[in-house]
Structure 1
Amino acid sequence: MRNLTAKWITPLPVCFSESIPKEIPHIIKSILLRRGLTHINDINDLVEPPDLPDPTDHFPDLDIASERIISAINNNEKIAICGDYDADGMTSTSLLVDFLLRLDGSPIPFIPSRKEEGYGLNRNIVEKIRREGIRLIITVDNGVSAIYEIELAQSYGIDVILSDHHEIKENLPNLLALIHPSTIPYSSPYKYLAGVGLAYLIAQTIAIKRNSTDKLSLSKDLFCIGTVADMAKLKGANRYWLKSWTPNLINTKSKGLKSLLSKAKLNNKNITTEDIAFRIAPRINSVGRISEPSLILKLFLEKDHISIREIVNKIENINKERKLLCNQTTSEAISILESNSEVLNPFIVLAQNHWHQGVIGIVAAKIMERYNRPTAILASDKNGFLRASVRSPKSFNALAALKKCSQILHKFGGHSAAGGFTIKAEKISLLQSKLNESASHWLSNNSKPTIEPECYVEFDQITNQICNYLKLLEPFGQGNPAPLFWTRGCTILKKETFYSGHQLLHLKQGKSIVKAINWNSNKFTTYPSSIDIAFYIDYENYFNTDKHQITIFSFKEYSKVESFALMNRIYKCQLDPEGNLLIENSLGKKICYKGTFNDQSINQFSDNKYIRRLVSISGEILGIV
């Protein structure tokens, strides 16, 4: 096995802004400043996002789309809702179908099979729509790449409202309406919306015109789930709505969603975006990955308790099967890589015909994390192509690498962190060579994964006040991650290993004892007697000692002496027996700082800015600032 030791990069000292109120704790101030929030107005907007503008002022075709849909409802027209098989696509479809049914509309959902039909709107769906006499298509979370299919639908006299958030790569045909982030002002708070967010805007606009905003209850629940599941940035409208609606998920009026929450053991707690990401979204996504997406629509729309129980149990079984497939495929991929005596490729490309298309994205992410290299996992499709999912470390641009290979790819798409493509099997060797060229230079500077905590905190500094402030920073997710802390010198008093391999550590630091869960461990994981940890505070549980209080993200052996680089020079720092700071350069020259760690004392210590910088950085690394 190739073990990778992560490189810890502790943050540089921050200069505290006088515009931030003094009553905000030092720990919270450090987080805010390191995230670029230097003024009280910025902080207020984070805690209480400003009201949103009228979306019809930002989306030029939103009025046209809503009027056409209202006309279809009034004239008893059938409306085709064409979605996709991921969580964003399934929640988008469910949202519009549920909302239009509540308005006595006649929506008919069409979601392609991942294995049989592939992504998005296709010719088979268009032909079904024509045969059913439908004259209006609304795409949700797809459509911008379905040029032929849209033109085919239009040739049959079918109106098309295209709502999608994916990048537009080709010129689109003239549409009845285009609801897409590219059509709105650059500074618009709606530019981060996923497919489900655009579907919600359509529903909301109609609801306002029809004086039916009371019909949007499930729409709001589905917006929360789809947005988080699609890993959309939690900024602008996403943050505004999630902050307002996520706490109400526990009170959902959907019997199906309520049953799913119960199965995920979320029926008796305050639901967070982390709960959606790790306990709700995987269950929904598993259905789209390896089963029929229509099951999710049935879950959200069903009213009969017995049917709902059957659906939820089926989803749970599908999720278990998905986990098993993921574990089997990941183990096989690791075995292939570990049995190869050759040097690991800078860009990992693995293909097996029997791998399931529905799990290759998850497997690619696991392999990428294990080896810290961009990874493509490929499985065969029924059309004679290999279909791939790509995942990359955060500083490597996956889409840029795929663009360099565009001439040998049949189709491709994605963004910097993830992508996908299809390719003929005979072109794999050439692809591997080209991808290696793209990744080799990056790998030479990024051979180790990095851990970048935001703030040092000791266990006795974690108070109710800190936990309450952290709650104000919610919701956490893309664009606003949960703060990652670090601390030093934790002694392991006790270790409990669960059946799944996860471990619960009882850690002591000074007089404080804390329970820490390590989800990334297994039964073979061992620890030094004293460790430094990067961790998340589980602030909902922190003062409930019956549960884990922090979640370990990474750990390393504690050392009294820490090394760091400044201006391409290497230094070591430590505290001497008297508690004074010692800093030593590569030539063995030392300085000793005996003052307190505030700007005034450090400025008085030396007129040399470089030395003052050394003292500040050393204090930050050792956790004594």
Structure 2
Amino acid sequence: MLPALDQQRWHLPGPLAPEGLCQAPADSPLPEALLAVLSRRGFNSAKAIAALLDPPAAPPAGRHFPDLAKAVARLKQACSQGEAVAICGDYDADGMTSTALLVGVLQRLGARPVAAIPSRMDDGYGLNAAMVERLAEQGVALLVTVDNGVSALEALVRAEALGVEAILTDHHTIPDPLPPHLALLHPERTPPKSPYRGLAGVGLAYVLAAALCQSLKRADGLQIALNLFCIGTIADMAPLVGVNRRWLIDGLPGLGGSPLAGLQALQRLAGLDEAPLDAQAVGFQIAPRINAVGRLGDPQLVVELLTTDDPDRALDLARDCEALNRQRRDLCSAIEAEAIALLEADGPRRPAFLLLAQNHWHHGVIGIVAARLVERFGLPAALLAGEGQGRLRASVRAPRGFAVDRALQHCAPLLERFGGHPAAGGFTVRAEQVAALHEQLNQLADAWLQQAGQGTPVEPEALLPFAQIDRDFHRQLQRLEPFGIGHPQPVFWSQGCEVASQKLLRGGHLQLELRQGEAGLRAMGWRWQGEANLPGRVDVAYRLALNSWQGEERLQLDLVGLRPSAGGASGSDEVVLKRRDRTYWCRREGAGLVVRNAAGDELTSAEGSSHAHPYVRALIQDAAIALGLVA
């Protein structure tokens, strides 16, 4: 979503002196703009860049997970004796792919795995005592939790009483006390700075499955395990560092040719059967189709889809996923329109914290809509849906800098239950407490806005003239993939771009043809929220994309920010900077620059760099970037 001009808050990167740029390995040169991005991300040596481009192999997992050997030994026994083993997952993409991973591997190794995933609507999150009792009645004497378990104290106490052993694999916060268990695989139980620290639930399932396959000398389960690791890690937005990055680099190239009939069917319905499956395709095409099932349907559908060997059955199940995904899109659009109408009905002034409640909203999708409101308004948002018996259940999302988990902890006396992390969370609240809760959340958001400022932040990482954007630059950019949490796709900016044409497309998307000097590029503002007519010259912040349409490929700018240009194109004689209500004229002078204010007073970069006042130092930095003196 591209916010309107007056909803954007631009923050240009601080300048990097030439000696401040990190150096790429001698045998792997990179363009200066990419080096600027990496320098600002803390990659300050050729060695660090080499490790990003080609991460080291994962160290032996047994040295990092103390209970791994114990877990593998118990599962080997289950495989040799054909035991029933319950794989207890969760209803999000991480939990469903984790479940499918262990079910698929254990089926191949001789065990009789049973998928056990709670209902989002009826059971809520995680393993519960009723599930344990049903599994015990079915003859299950061993259960493995994936993407949950460390908080299932009541359920696992019941399991212990029934003689059911438990192997826990989970990446959520470890409570005190821990529930009874035979073995625990958890990132926090690895050594400090371990490359396994960033694993999601599916990563822990992969560690367990890979160790089991290696112990039994059975490589046939490893490929499907790696395939599902890639899908679940990207879908769960796990940080792409450590072994996550190494295994994705190893696994993504073979994902399009996966032996999983269900993945092949999903690719076909998503129109990806002829294109390689990269992280972006997984994140925007495959993962939503899987997630839609957990939000609106039965998660067992996904487990069967990702474990069946029957192509016809896989295609039928993939069509069910497709139908639920369409339903999810329609629900999100309807709830978003209703939420915006409610906000507009309250007038132009919006609260610092957006809190909206309707009994009929669907619990499975309100988190998606809350995230869209954050994108649109740059404010934290909570959407509440009725839960019955005078209670409402909420999903919360927030811009970077506003800590959802701390905000909910502050409001704990008003809440029945809550949980989350800095960017997202959820809670249950009684209807009579909603007004008081909103008042407290508004106070917290007001204090945050006093420091952060209004609007959606636009934070480009490097200046990139159009003349440098070509297929070779895009190929160099691809060397930095995969992108995701902890290593996002870079945002570049270009200044003084002439708007040669502009068109508002169906769906509210803005299409621009931009020129900078002799170079021209198409730019897309997806779900544009502003007016149709733009000024003649603009600065743009964007991610670089390669768009394929009807067999033709072209480079395209996917806009994340847009503003009236403060000056000419990079390299022009003079540019104009507007800061607050003041205007400055900047020009090059030798290796430095000169800034002139409206009164005619001039300040050189040498004078400004040593100036004590932060405003002046920031002005010199902006002028240097605007004149193209730094990347």
Fold agreement, TM-score > 0.5:
yes
1:50 maps to what in 2?
A: 56
2:16 maps to what in 1?
A: 14
Give 2:601's aligned amino acid: K
- Does residue 584 of structure 1 match 2:586? no
What is the Cα-based RMSD across aligned positions, in Å?
2.8
Q: After alignment, is 193-202 or 521-530 more displaced?
A: 521-530
Give SS of 1:149's match.
Answer: helix
Q: 1:178-211 CA distances to partner (integer Å, 9 max, x unpaired)?
A: 1111211121011100000001011011011001
| Unpaired stretches in structure 2, ≥5 consecutive residues | 568-574
Q: Kindly tell me: are residues 616 and 366 of structure 1, through their superposed partners in 2, closer, same or farther at Cα, counting changes over 3 Å?
A: closer
Q: Kindly tell me: are residues 557 and 614 of structure 1, through their superposed partners in 2, closer, same or farther at Cα, counting changes over 3 Å?
A: closer
Q: Kindly tell me: are residues 29 and 2 of structure 1, through their superposed partners in 2, closer, same or farther at Cα, counting changes over 3 Å?
A: closer
User: Structure 2 matches for 1:443-592, cutoff 5 A?
Assistant: 443-445=449-451, 446-521=453-528, 525-539=532-546, 546-560=553-567, 561-563=575-577, 572-575=584-587, 582-585=594-597, 588-591=600-603
- Does residue 185 of structure 1 match 2:191? yes
| Aligned partners of 2:542 and 2:558 also within 8 Å | yes
Q: After alignment, is 51-60 or 582-591 more displaced?
A: 582-591
User: Structure 2 matches for 1:24-35, cutoff 5 A?
Assistant: 24-35=30-41
| Aligned partners of 1:4 and 1:371 also within 8 Å | no
Deviation at 1:156, TM superposition (A): 0.8
Report the Cα distance in structure 1 between the residues aligned to 2:22 and 2:530, rounded to whole angstroms.
49
- Does residue 81 of structure 1 match 2:93? no
Deviation at 1:379, TM superposition (A): 1.1
2:243 maps to what in 1?
A: 237
| Aligned partners of 2:586 and 2:593 also within 8 Å | yes
Report the Cα distance in structure 1 between the residues aligned to 2:609 and 2:291, rounded to whole angstroms.
57
Q: 1:499-522 CA distances to partner (integer Å, 9 max, x unpaired)?
A: 333233222211112122222327
| Aligned partners of 1:87 and 1:281 also within 8 Å | yes
| Aligned partners of 2:544 and 2:558 also within 8 Å | yes
Report the Cα distance in structure 1 between the residues aligned to 2:256 and 2:396, rounded to whole angstroms.
35
Report the Cα distance in structure 1 between the residues aligned to 2:413 and 2:177, rounded to whole angstroms.
20
Q: Kindly tell me: are residues 588 and 206 of structure 1, through their superposed partners in 2, closer, same or farther at Cα, counting changes over 3 Å?
A: same
Give SS of 1:66's match.
Answer: helix
- Does residue 621 of structure 1 match 2:626? yes
- Does residue 274 of structure 1 match 2:273? no
| Unpaired stretches in structure 1, ≥5 consecutive residues | 593-601
- Does residue 414 of structure 1 match 2:434? no
1:288 maps to what in 2?
A: 294
Deviation at 1:545, TM superposition (A): 6.4
Give 2:449's aligned amino acid: L
Give SS of 2:428's match.
Answer: strand
Report the Cα distance in structure 1 between the residues aligned to 2:9 and 2:594, rounded to whole angstroms.
23
| Aligned partners of 1:501 and 1:523 also within 8 Å | no
User: Structure 2 matches for 1:319-330, cutoff 5 A?
Assistant: 319-330=325-336
TM-score by length of 1: 0.92
Q: 1:548-574 CA distances to partner (integer Å, 9 max, x unpaired)?
A: 522111211223254477xx9977243
Report the Cα distance in structure 2 between the residues aligned to 1:584 and 1:522, rounded to whole angstroms.
35
| Aligned partners of 2:21 and 2:44 also within 8 Å | no
Deviation at 1:496, TM superposition (A): 4.5
2:323 maps to what in 1?
A: 317
Q: After alignment, is 236-245 or 341-350 more displaced?
A: 341-350
Report the Cα distance in structure 2 between the residues aligned to 1:3 and 1:465, rounded to whole angstroms.
32
Give me the identity figure in percent: 38
Deviation at 1:342, TM superposition (A): 8.2
Give SS of 2:487's match.
Answer: coil
Give SS of 1:37's match.
Answer: coil
Deviation at 1:607, TM superposition (A): 10
- Does residue 109 of structure 1 match 2:115? yes
User: Structure 2 matches for 1:364-443, cutoff 5 A?
Assistant: 364-381=370-387, 385-443=391-449
Report the Cα distance in structure 1 between the residues aligned to 2:152 and 2:587, rounded to whole angstroms.
63
Deviation at 1:301, TM superposition (A): 1.8
TM-score by length of 2: 0.91
Q: Kindly tell me: are residues 494 and 585 of structure 1, through their superposed partners in 2, closer, same or farther at Cα, counting changes over 3 Å?
A: closer
Deviation at 1:476, TM superposition (A): 0.3
1:259 maps to what in 2?
A: 265
Report the Cα distance in structure 1 between the residues aligned to 2:429 and 2:618, rounded to whole angstroms.
52
Report the Cα distance in structure 1 between the residues aligned to 2:355 and 2:113, rounded to whole angstroms.
42
Give SS of 2:365's match.
Answer: helix
Give SS of 1:301's match.
Answer: coil
Deviation at 1:282, TM superposition (A): 0.8
Q: After alignment, is 55-64 or 478-487 more displaced?
A: 55-64
User: Structure 2 matches for 1:592-611, cutoff 5 A?
Assistant: 609-610=610-611
Report the Cα distance in structure 1 between the residues aligned to 2:619 and 2:437, rounded to whole angstroms.
47
- Does residue 213 of structure 1 match 2:219? yes
**Residue in structure 1 matching 2:75, options 69, 90, 110:** 69
Deviation at 1:493, TM superposition (A): 2.5
Q: Kindly tell me: are residues 142 and 385 of structure 1, through their superposed partners in 2, closer, same or farther at Cα, counting changes over 3 Å?
A: farther
Q: Kindly tell me: are residues 236 and 608 of structure 1, through their superposed partners in 2, closer, same or farther at Cα, counting changes over 3 Å?
A: closer
Deviation at 1:243, TM superposition (A): 1.2
Report the Cα distance in structure 2 between the residues aligned to 1:113 and 1:614, rounded to whole angstroms.
55
| Aligned partners of 1:487 and 1:534 also within 8 Å | yes
**Residue in structure 2 matching 1:132, options 130, 134, 138:** 138
| Aligned partners of 2:336 and 2:369 also within 8 Å | yes
Give 1:232's aligned amino acid: A
| Aligned partners of 1:17 and 1:39 also within 8 Å | no
Report the Cα distance in structure 2 between the residues aligned to 1:514 and 1:585, rounded to whole angstroms.
34
Q: 1:217-242 CA distances to partner (integer Å, 9 max, x unpaired)?
A: 11111111111111111110111111
| Aligned partners of 1:487 and 1:623 also within 8 Å | no
1:227 maps to what in 2?
A: 233
Give 1:393's aligned amino acid: P
Q: Kindly tell me: are residues 569 and 433 of structure 1, through their superposed partners in 2, closer, same or farther at Cα, counting changes over 3 Å?
A: closer
